[in-house]
Amino acid sequence: MGWESRQRGGFYYTRSRKVNGRVVREYLGSGAPGQIAALEDEYERRRREEQAAYERELREELDALDASVEELSRASDLLVRTALIVSGYRQHNRGEWRLRRGPKEGG
């Protein structure tokens, strides 16, 4: 997209777009029609940049929240494991928690 200068035609504005996988240049005119098309394209470009910046900022905020939740989850897991161990439980094969049996009575 942009203004082009040709020897025979002066300055004119073109826009590139894809049609059926091929890049096609669209002639939009010189003078007022070209100026209008250039302003429309600039507005659309800025809108897309602002949207991308907003989404990037939102993603950073969500990542920070996710990190906080992950830290809280690890801390709560540690507290639960500690409480279970202190209460006499053991984890069987990295799965369920079972209460330890007392010593075997032999006789």
Q: What is the pLDDT of residues 34-65, one digit of tens each?
A: 889 899 999 999 999 999 999 999 999 999 99
**Average pLDDT score over the chain:** 88
What is the band of 1 on the pLDDT scale with cuts at 50, 70, 90?
low
The whole-model pTM stands at: 0.58
- Backbone dihedral region for residue 31 (phi beyond 0: left; psi -120 to 50: alpha; all else: beta): left
Residue 3 has pLDDT above 70, yes or no: yes
Residue 82 has pLDDT above 90, yes or no: yes
Decide: 34 and 4 in contact? Cβ < 8 Å.
no
**Distance of alpha carbon 45 from alpha carbon 41, whole angstroms:** 6
Residue 6 has pLDDT above 80, yes or no: no
